[in-house]
Amino acid sequence: MPRILLVEDDAEVRILVEHVLLDADHEVDAAETVDDGSALLGCNDYDLVITDGRLQDGTGRMLADEARERGIAALIMTGYAFVLQQAGVDLARYDVLLKPISPEELLDSVEKALATRS
pLDDT in tens, 25-40: 999 999 999 999 999 9
Q: Which CATH architecture has domain 3-112?
A: 3-Layer(aba) Sandwich (3.40)
Distance CA 20, CA 86 (A): 31
Backbone angles phi, psi at 109, to 5 degrees: -65, -40
Residue 43: per-residue pLDDT = 95
More confident residue, 90 or 41: 41
Centre a 10 Å sphere on the Cβ of residue 53 and count the other Cβ atoms it contains. 23
pTM confidence score: 0.90
Residue 6: per-residue pLDDT = 98
pLDDT in tens, 90-114: 555 678 888 888 999 999 999 999 9
Looking at every residue in the chain, the average pLDDT score rounds to: 89
Residue 87: per-residue pLDDT = 46
Distance CA 74, CA 47 (A): 9
CB distance 72 to 94 below 8 Å: no
